[in-house]
Amino acid sequence: MPIHEKTLIDPKQLLQTDNLVVDGVDVSGHWNTMVLPRTMTDYDPDFYKTIQALPGGDNVHRCWQCGSCTNSCTMYAINTDFNPRYWIYLTNLGFKSEIVKDKDIIWQCVSCNKCTNICPKDVRPEGVMKALAHWLEMEGHTPKSKSTVFDEEFTRQCLERGRIEDTEVMFNFFRQTGQSIGGMLRAGWLRVMIERMNKIHLLRRGELGKFLARLPMRQGLKMGWAMVFRPRTRSWGRTGEVLREYVEEQKRAAHAKIAARAH
């Protein structure tokens, strides 16, 4: 018999052979469909500690599954697969592989915080969504988000030189996120921005003098110079190295604190 509710079944659990004859009876196609059992055979009772160690996940263990978060959720109203209550449950029992299945949805949280406001146990589900998205990214299940790429570039420059060079941050950010600078210059928003900032309409109207007079020549030169020579803040020395060590230390301490509290 054909299975009518195939949408409810994980496609990986469905077995079907296109051409199959058993004892002279043709049972090709849906006549031989088999559904593999999806039995869960173990818990990972410590997984929640991993999520707790990430910003926002602190209270995940408090959840008692009332479903207020899901019912109040902005995203759930649009897509019923977006179910914070469910992911929190999976986190607490450590069903990691089930969480990974929803890796392309979890990040969609819009941080409206209706769940956080309604949660009777102060689980702060919005934070948990962030922590889960963070974990998925850390584990390589999802690509680095654009904001992570930006943060990393920004931090790198801060630590290396004690300052950032705006142009270089944007330049590297665009490059690392696969956004074509040339393309954006030719037809994208970058062109529009540069044109408006520099009042290109003056040039188009033939008012060359006016145009040149307010063109940020010095700023442009400075930007170009900084891009090439990459200056550091005066007497920066080993400060970056020390800072980097300090940040790592703080992270370790925060994780240890959460882990200790979890026991």
Partner 1 sequence: MSDAVLVVGAGPTGLAAAHGVASIGRRVVLVEKESVLGGAPILSRYAKLVPSGEWAKDAIGRMVKRVEDAKLVEIHKGTKVTKLDGERGNFTATLANGKTVQAGAVILGTGFTHFDAINKPEWGFGTYPDVVTTTQVEQMVGAGKIACPSDGRTPERVCILLCVGSRDRQIGREWCSKICCTVSTNLAMEIKELSPSTDVFIYYMDIRTFGLYEDKFYWKSQEEFRTKFVKARIAEVTVAPDGKRLLVKGEDTLVKRPIMIAFDLVVHAIGMDPNEENPEIAKVFGVGLEQHGFLERGEHYTSTFASTRPGVYVGGAALAPEDIDTCISHGLAMAMRAVGDLNALAPKAA
Here's the x/- map for partner 1, 104-143, by CB under 8 A: it reads as -----------------x----------------------
Is residue 89 a contact residue for partner 1 (CB under 8 A)? yes
Shortest reach from residue 6's CB to partner 1, in Å? 16
Is residue 205 a contact residue for partner 1 (CB under 8 A)? no
Binding to partner 1 (CB under 8 A): which residues in 43-62? 43, 45, 61-62
Q: ∠ CA(180), CA(182), CA(188), 5° rounding?
A: 80
Residue 121 or 252: which CB sits closer to partner 1? 121
Is residue 38 a contact residue for partner 1 (CB under 8 A)? yes
SS3 25: strand
Task: Give me 152's structure tokens.
Answer: 């990393």
Shortest reach from residue 190's CB to partner 1, in Å? 47
For the beta carbon of residue 240, count every other beta carbon within 10 angstroms.
Answer: 18
Q: Helices 84-93 and 125-138 sit at what angle, rounded to 10 degrees?
A: 60
Residue 98 or 152: which CB sits closer to partner 1? 98
For the beta carbon of residue 3, count every other beta carbon within 10 angstroms.
Answer: 14
Shortest reach from residue 116's CB to partner 1, in Å? 17
Q: Which residues contact 149 (CB under 8 A, 6 or more apart)?
A: 173, 176, 177
Kindly list the distances between the CA atom of residue 203 and the CA atoms of 148, 193, 215, in Å, as whole numbers in the listed order.
39, 16, 11
Which positions touch partner 1 (CB under 8 A)?
37-43, 45, 61-62, 64-65, 86, 89-90, 92-93, 95, 98, 121, 262-263
